[in-house]
Amino acid sequence: MKFLMMLVLLTSFSVEANESHCYAIKNSDSKNSCLALAKNQDSYCYSIREADSKNLCLAQIKNQKSYCYSIKSSDSKNQCLAIVK
């Protein structure tokens, strides 16, 4: 959950990631999310083990709110719906 909140905060400011920095991240879910956003490739989202984080990643990369509705945490779901256009 902590990872999901950090991801939402980072992406809500439209931070563009430099993929080389993603490889320095030790947490595999965080690294895959970073790579997905930096490279705009959903394949990295599918490597994320935590379901809510995976759905947030897919919602952002594919720009589809339908993934937000699969997020179990109410607050995270609402944040996802707010940031995905």
0.85 surpassed by pTM: no
Q: What would the pLDDT profile of 26-64 be if each residue is shown by its tens digit?
A: 999 999 999 999 999 999 999 999 999 999 999 999 999
Is 45:57 a contact under the CB 8 Å cutoff? yes
**Distance of alpha carbon 21 from alpha carbon 34, whole angstroms:** 9
Q: What average pLDDT does the chain have?
A: 87
**Distance of alpha carbon 38 from alpha carbon 36, whole angstroms:** 6
φ, ψ for residue 71, nearest 5 deg = -80, 125
Please list, in sequence order, all residues whose beta carbon lies within 8 angstroms of the beta carbon of residue 41, skipping any fewer than 6 positions away: 35, 61
- Residue 36 tokens read as 């997905």
**Distance of alpha carbon 27 from alpha carbon 13, whole angstroms:** 22
